[in-house]
Amino acid sequence: MIYFDNAATTMLKPPEVAEAVARAIGSFGGVGRGVHEASLDAGMTVFKARQKVSDLIGGPGAKHVAFAYNATEALNIAICGLLHAGDHAVTTAASHNSVLRPLFRMEDAGTAEVSVVPIAPDGSLDYDAFDAAFRPNTRLAVVTHASNLTGDVYDIARLARIAHDHGAVLVVDAAQTAGVIPIDMAAQSIDVVCFTGHKSLFGPQGTGGLVVAEGVDIAAFKVGGSGTHSYDRAHPTFMPERLEAGTLNAHGIAGLLAGLTYIERKSVDAIRSETQALAARFEEGVGAVPGVKLYGGGEGKRACSAAPRSNGDAGRGIPASLGAANLTRTGIVTLNIADVDSSLVADMLNAEFGICTRAGAHCAPLMHEALGTDGQGAVRFSFSHFNTADEVDAGIEAVAMLAKELV
């Protein structure tokens, strides 16, 4: 099997991740539910994981990291806890359904208004249009850091400035970027970052959460057992327990901590560099195949044409490393072969070549509409630094063979 579906879940993990989960399952008690060794071991592991998440993304510290089941749950917590009756929210067409559906549900219920800023057919965002979407009652902007369809990375520091100029809070969906694209909440003035553990943080499924800046108050999404203040009628209001209820997935978080420790050791820059090299090799190879259509890349072109702006970022205290040209794309290459149904192509890749990709809508319906692929879907190849050049070359050869037969 050749696994190119890392934007869904990274399958190849550092071996210490599984080892940590196995150790945890055999030794952990409940976090904050006792003072015996088993409970304290779990509690300390979760605490260290909170600190590592905060360190990774320039957050305000362990107390501001609340764990959740995944990025979708974290986004629901943030959106439902920040958007109130009569408020208006802004998002973009690059958003995943984990952003769109919570917003649309509130809009359909008549409790909030929502504006969706279009994405261009090349995957780029018009930042002036984003600015223009704000209204006097705009309370919240929720944006994806990178499209899960094209890998285009959006300028979250710029989006934060725009949101703050309008008095709104910015929530970033970092499901596709945490661990592979640098994030600095403090330098980029991000209010809330929602992350998942099972993608580029190399943790198990069922781990994720949100990091909340100082002064941002999110109403509790769920309440219940907290391990403290048990005779109080109401759930604790302090972070992170404010946004957590019930026993945490400490077994999974132990694996997430191992993944975070691996990233810290290897470095985000090295992981990104190796991942992007593989994606670029693939893109160059399949780009030369007759009949192959590639999607996205518009943010990179926009960033290049707006290069002088990087001086302005430096003047605003944003490190140059957060505005570099190689930060405009994750390790995703999305394509179609002529007009062939993307699901058929993905199935052929799987059945005939043992290559795992993702076809269809990718839970990003508005992005497909923007690219003009809402009927055909698209075949997404998403790479990990654990992939090899030989695997990439096998992928190019498979696409070339299918294109030759199908076009």
Of 8, 11, 23, 47, which one interacts with another protein (CB under 8 A)? 47
Is residue 40 at the binding interface for another protein, with CB under 8 A as the rule? yes
DSSP at 46: H
141 in helix, strand or coil? strand
Interactions with another protein, residue window 53-72 (CB under 8 A): 62-63
Least distance in Å: CB of 46 to another protein? 7
* 219-to-24, 57, 177, 181, 212 alpha-carbon distances in Å: 31, 23, 26, 29, 12
Q: In this chain, which stretch among 81-89, 211-219, 222-230, 313-321 interacts with another protein, using CB under 8 A?
A: 222-230
Of 8, 16, 34, 353, which one interacts with another protein (CB under 8 A)? 34
Is residue 228 at the binding interface for another protein, with CB under 8 A as the rule? yes
- Cα–Cα distance measured from residue 236 to residue 407, given in angstroms and rounded to the nearest whole number: 61
- Cα–Cα distance measured from residue 92 to residue 248, given in angstroms and rounded to the nearest whole number: 32
Of 46, 68, 210, 216, which one interacts with another protein (CB under 8 A)? 46
Half-sphere exposure of 3 (CA within 13 A, CB side): 12
Is residue 52 at the binding interface for another protein, with CB under 8 A as the rule? no
Is residue 31 at the binding interface for another protein, with CB under 8 A as the rule? yes
SS3 content of the chain, % helix, strand, coil (to 5): 45, 15, 40
Q: Which is nearer to another protein, 47 or 353 (CB)?
A: 47
* Burial (0-12, 13-18, 19+ Cβ within 10 Å), 86: exposed
Q: In this chain, which stretch among 2-10, 34-42, 101-109, 173-181 interacts with another protein, using CB under 8 A?
A: 34-42
Is residue 229 at the binding interface for another protein, with CB under 8 A as the rule? yes
Q: In this chain, which stretch among 88-96, 223-231, 344-352, 378-386 interacts with another protein, using CB under 8 A?
A: 223-231
Q: Which is nearer to another protein, 109 or 234 (CB)?
A: 234
Of 227, 298, 300, 377, which one interacts with another protein (CB under 8 A)? 227
215 in helix, strand or coil? coil
Beta strands in 174-275 (DSSP E): 192-196, 208-212
Binding residues for another protein, how many (CB under 8 A)? 25
- Angle of helix 71-82 relative to helix 97-108, nearest 10 degrees? 30
* Burial (0-12, 13-18, 19+ Cβ within 10 Å), 32: buried
- Cα–Cα distance measured from residue 101 to residue 337, given in angstroms and rounded to the nearest whole number: 30
Half-sphere exposure of 275 (CA within 13 A, CB side): 31
x/- letters, 237..276, toward another protein (CB under 8 A): -xxxx-----------------------------------
95: part of which helix (H) or strand (E)? Answer: none
Least distance in Å: CB of 74 to another protein? 17
Least distance in Å: CB of 230 to another protein? 4
- Cα–Cα distance measured from residue 211 to residue 65, given in angstroms and rounded to the nearest whole number: 4
Q: Which is nearer to another protein, 67 or 130 (CB)?
A: 67
Q: In this chain, which stretch among 127-135, 234-242, 323-331, 371-379 interacts with another protein, using CB under 8 A?
A: 234-242
Q: Which is nearer to another protein, 130 or 195 (CB)?
A: 195
Of 23, 48, 105, 301, which one interacts with another protein (CB under 8 A)? 48
| Longest CA–CA separation in the chain, Å | 70
Least distance in Å: CB of 222 to another protein? 17
Contact 303/372 with Cβ under 8 angstroms?
Answer: no
Q: In this chain, which stretch among 44-52, 114-122, 170-178, 360-368 interacts with another protein, using CB under 8 A?
A: 44-52
Least distance in Å: CB of 52 to another protein? 12
Of 1, 35, 234, 351, which one interacts with another protein (CB under 8 A)? 35
Q: Which is nearer to another protein, 65 or 168 (CB)?
A: 65
Torsion of CA 298, 202, 378, 345, to 10 degrees: 140
Contacts with another protein, residue ranges (CB under 8 A): 31-35, 40, 43-44, 46-48, 50, 62-63, 227-232, 236, 238-241
